[in-house]
């Protein structure tokens, strides 16, 4: 029986579908546009971006992941590159721009191969082989770094900040960062170093030069004593950290109290007062002269604390309570009447300081400070925000350098060495995968190309000079953007943790492979269309 010419509808009306090369080109173009959005921010000569959200809030930064997080990206393939940056930031803390640029370049090279009718599965197979070889080369060219090599660690921190707004004060901040990370570092059961960066606290205050930022070996609590009658400074502080309210508890069930005699009311109020007085007496009996409470402190209890000369703060954040316990050696007490001398922590000084008209409590002089605080200053709020982002990048790279104990050179030198060795490797692989490996090698040169472009240099000349140097066995030859010359990056101390390159190449390859394997995009009605608007693109086809 004939079916006639009636159309068969499988998908809901209004569904948009792109197939084959159209889908691939659409995805690749969108992803490359994301890479080009952050490309000009790479390196010490990189520029900043101003991002304005729907509420009018402004962010000025050249931090790759911050730029991409603030951009309202709609295209699904473009979102994959944003995920690359987020993963890089979570794993290493730096190298986000590098990872996105690499992913974009892998896709650009893949476009040429798709045009030449090389099947995407061949390209992805070649890219995976190239990634494995690149990881081997990375490991081969890396060198060791010790936790005791302060000079090298400070250089790693400074290099992470050189392209940021704090670049002019990078030595000052590098000292601070290395000191902070080494304070919070721990050893696990196997003897490996580990650091939890949650133990570094930042407190931002605008209104002063960034050079007035300071490291506090202890904690800054953004709370003041609950009563002005309390002391402003306590030396040899014995600290109680309590997660319970200094208030008269309400009954859990609904209850009414009937008072028929004025003397009963007086006795009732007296009993409430006695309960609060007993709570304060328990703190005094334990030997504490400082109290940090996560919950409330009744007005009457405040009066009793002030009479006893105890420095008391209330409504302290849970994260600050945990830092206090870790740094001072205190135990967080949940039952006031069970507080004892053994639960107390110790600090040499508890002091109330006024920073930009805001009172804050500084806890310093802990015996074994396992948490540190950095008071971040800046001329404006935007500057303070960017200083904080720079410091986060810096202590992240110092942390992974200590944990892994391995570093590589920057300035595009490692990427160029990978490219050179991949070209030799491609010839040994043979087959069509060889084309993909050579394309991967060429894509690795985007790092030196971008560094040269951002420094106002000719990228073709720079790449030719770098290839020549690496051919001569100069593994650490990279671009010095300030002189425009190819120099030994190891001698210039342009170094970074091995994990930055390792993670960047891995995640960029995975994202590129995932996008290349898509040959059909089905967008249901009502979902954001995956169609890419070329007016938003600044793709450079040179």
Q: What is the largest CA-CA distance in the chain?
A: 101
Q: How far apart are CA 8 and CA 68, in angstroms?
A: 42
Exposure string of 462-481, with b = 16+ CB inside 10 Å and e = fewer, is bbebbbebbeeebbbbbbbb
* Residue 173 CA neighbour count, 13 Å, CB half: 32
The CA-based angle 302-303-307, given to 5 degrees, is 115
Q: Are 341 and 329 in contact (CB under 8 A)?
A: no
Q: Are 174 and 155 in contact (CB under 8 A)?
A: yes
Q: Out of 87, 97, 124, 328, which one is annotated catalytic?
A: 97
Specify the DSSP class assigned to residue 246.
B
Helices 433-444 & 413-429 angle (0-180, nearest 10)? 170
Q: Verify whether residue 298 is a known catalytic residue.
A: no
N residues, the chain:
542
What contacts 148, CB < 8 A, 6 or more positions away? Answer: none
- Please name every residue paired with 206 in a beta bridge, in sequence order, or none if there are none: 378
Q: How far apart are CA 508 and CA 475, in angstroms?
A: 23
Q: How far apart are CA 318 and CA 315, in angstroms?
A: 9
Q: How many helices (H) and strands (E) does the chain have?
A: 16, 21
β 290-293/233-242 pair status: parallel
Q: Are 124 and 517 in contact (CB under 8 A)?
A: yes
Q: Out of 18, 63, 94, 510, which one is annotated catalytic?
A: 63
Q: Verify whether residue 211 is a known catalytic residue.
A: no
Q: How far apart are CA 76 and CA 82, in angstroms?
A: 10
Q: How far apart are CA 513 and CA 120, in angstroms?
A: 9
Q: Out of 66, 96, 98, 371, which one is annotated catalytic?
A: 96
Q: Verify whether residue 96 is a known catalytic residue.
A: yes
- Please name every residue paired with 362 in a beta bridge, in sequence order, or none if there are none: 220, 351
Instruction: Tell me the two tokens of residue 51.
Output: 């991002």
Q: Verify whether residue 393 is a known catalytic residue.
A: yes
Catalytic (active-site) positions: 63, 96-97, 393
């Amino acid at each position: 029986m004939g079916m006639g010419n009636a159309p068969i509808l499988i998908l809901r009306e209004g569904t948009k579908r792109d197939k084959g090369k159209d889908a691939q080109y659409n995805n690749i173009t969108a992803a490359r546009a994301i890479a080009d959005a952050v490309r000009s921010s790479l390196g010490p000569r990189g520029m900043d971006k101003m991002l304005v959200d729907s509420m009018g809030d402004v962010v000025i930064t050249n931090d790759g992941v911050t730029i991409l997080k603030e951009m309202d990206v709609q295209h699904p393939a473009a979102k994959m590159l944003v995920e690359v940056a987020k993963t890089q930031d979570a794993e290493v803390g730096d190298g986000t721009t590098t990872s996105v640029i690499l992913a974009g370049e892998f896709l650009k090279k893949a476009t040429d191969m798709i045009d030449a009718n090389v099947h995407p599965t061949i390209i992805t197979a070649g890219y995976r082989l190239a990634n494995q070889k690149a990881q081997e080369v990375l490991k081969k060219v890396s060198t060791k770094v010790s936790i005791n090599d302060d000079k090298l660690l400070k250089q790693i921190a400074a290099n992470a900040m050189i392209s940021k707004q704090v670049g002019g004060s990078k030595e000052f901040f590098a000292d601070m960062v290395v000191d902070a990370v080494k304070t919070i570092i721990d050893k696990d059961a196997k003897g490996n170093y580990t650091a939890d960066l949650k133990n570094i606290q930042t407190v931002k205050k605008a209104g002063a030069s960034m050079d007035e930022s300071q490291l506090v070996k202890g904690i800054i609590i953004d709370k003041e004593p609950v009563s002005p009658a309390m002391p402003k400074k306590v030396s040899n502080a014995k600290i109680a950290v309590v997660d319970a309210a200094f208030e008269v508890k309400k009954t859990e069930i609904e209850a009414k109290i009937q008072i028929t005699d004025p003397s009963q009311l007086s006795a009732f109020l007296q009993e409430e007062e006695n309960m609060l007085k007993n709570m304060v007496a328990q703190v005094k009996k334990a030997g504490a002269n400082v109290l940090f409470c996560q919950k409330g402190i009744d007005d009457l209890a405040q009066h009793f604390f002030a009479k006893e000369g105890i420095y008391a703060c209330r409504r302290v954040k849970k994260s600050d309570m945990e830092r206090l316990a870790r740094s001072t050696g205190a135990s967080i007490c949940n039952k006031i009447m069970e507080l004892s001398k053994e639960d107390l922590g110790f600090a040499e000084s508890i002091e109330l300081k006024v920073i930009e008209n805001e009172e804050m409590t500084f806890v310093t002089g802990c015996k074994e400070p396992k948490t540190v605080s950095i008071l971040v200053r800046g001329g404006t709020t935007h500057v303070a925000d960017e200083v904080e982002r720079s410091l986060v990048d810096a202590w992240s790279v110092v942390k992974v350098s200590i944990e892994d104990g391995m570093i590589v050179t920057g300035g595009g030198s490692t990427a160029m060495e990978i490219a050179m060795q991949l070209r030799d490797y491609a010839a040994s692989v043979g087959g069509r995968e060889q084309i993909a490996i050579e394309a991967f090698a060429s894509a690795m040169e985007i790092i030196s190309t971008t560094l040269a472009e951002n420094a106002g240099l000719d990228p073709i000349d720079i790449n030719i000079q770098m290839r020549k140097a690496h051919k001569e066995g100069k593994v650490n030859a990279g671009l010095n953007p300030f002189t425009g010359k190819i120099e030994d990056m190891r001698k210039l101390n342009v170094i970074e943790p091995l994990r930055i390159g390792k993670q960047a190449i891995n995640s960029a390859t995975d994202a590129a492979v995932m996008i290349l394997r898509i040959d059909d995009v089905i967008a249901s009605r009502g979902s954001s269309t995956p169609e890419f608007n070329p007016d938003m693109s600044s793709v450079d086809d040179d």
